[in-house]
Copies of this chain bind each other. A is one copy, B any other.
Amino acid sequence: MENAADRAVLAIDFGGTQIRAALVSPDRAVHARRAVPTDDEEGVDAVLARIVAVAGESRDEAASSGLPDPIGVSISSPGPLDPWRGVVLMAPNLSGWRNVDVAGPVRDALGLPAFLERDTNVAVVGEWRYGAARGTRNAIYITVSTGIGGGVIVDGRPLVGADGTAGEVGHMVVDLDGPACGCGGIGHVEAIASGTAMARDGRALMTGDPTGVLAGLAAGRDVDAELVARAADAGDAGCMAILERAWVAIGALCASLLNVFDPEVIVIGGSIAEHRPRLFEVARTEARRRVLPVLFDRIRLEPAALGGDVSLIGGLPIVNDRIGDPAHAAGSRQPQGAPS
């Protein structure tokens, strides 16, 4: 059998705000990019049609440019989802998305095997194969943006769990009496350190201080995490405290993950982590305060290396490994998106 890792893939990045598609060649270059807004208020079928359309356009452009044919399609999607059946179980940020088969329509429309994976699993595989966790056998990826997600590599294999939902590091409890999370839980790190949480705390702060720095910057607009961060940069003590608390929570999360997984490295990416180097500074300090002494000297918290394209580039090993996997070939745990 030819080395599966030599083949190009069509990569779809399906998110709450936009759908992207591209052809990823074996050298990890990203070609024939396409993007459309998700516009999920138009309903599930309209979104599925847009996913198929942008993927088809990207493939056609790649073909007309003489790029290699893709051997399959990776679909990066918010979870929880069932990677074997190719079904999104629930997408908290998309209305009406419950038990939606995504891999099936893509496979049928494009005539290629299609593999659905949680966005954070695509990212951890990408960073592990090609990025900041390269060369390790035990690695964790955390994304800090609107929400907090993650993925885990255990002894050279992605952690999947019993239902395919493992790796939800954003929903680990770090504060017993902490705030409510968007998922309905209590005290999760996402409820303290996500962009959504920072915006919530910023709004509460502004209500109590309607003439403060944050209110001045907002100038009547709704408060988001970026505005809270800008107010903190301008010296607003309340906003600085919101950010510091978030970084402490991420450091505590890292300590929990270090103590339970004993990984070689934790990679932190996402739009907030990318723009906030102090996150790493505080998280390292907090991880040291909370990690077992035996692990103290080898804590590695690293910024992600692949940036926003990680959810496309990570599709390369996802598709090649799953097509090359004997379990897949034999039909065991075979994703629904695979042609029969």
Contacts and interface: CB of A to CB of B under 8 A. Distances in A.
Contact of A292 (B80, B178, B257): B80
Contacts of A188: 290
Contact of A162 (B174, B176, B264): B264
A277 interface: no
A163 interface: yes
Interface stretch (A36-44, A57-65, A151-159, A224-232): A151-159
Interface stretch (A14-22, A164-172, A318-326): A164-172
A186 B175 CA distance: 12
A289 B162 CA distance: 21
A260 B290 contact: no
Contact of A165 (B162, B175, B176, B294): B294
A262 to B, nearest CB: 3
A152 B289 contact: no
B166 A293 contact: no
Copies of the chain in the assembly = 2
A164 B289 contact: no
Interface string A277-307: 0000000000001111111001000000000
A266 to B, nearest CB: 12
Contacts of A289: 185-186
Interface of A: 80, 89-90, 136-138, 152, 154-155, 157, 159-169, 171-178, 183-188, 248-249, 252-253, 255-257, 259-264, 289-295, 298
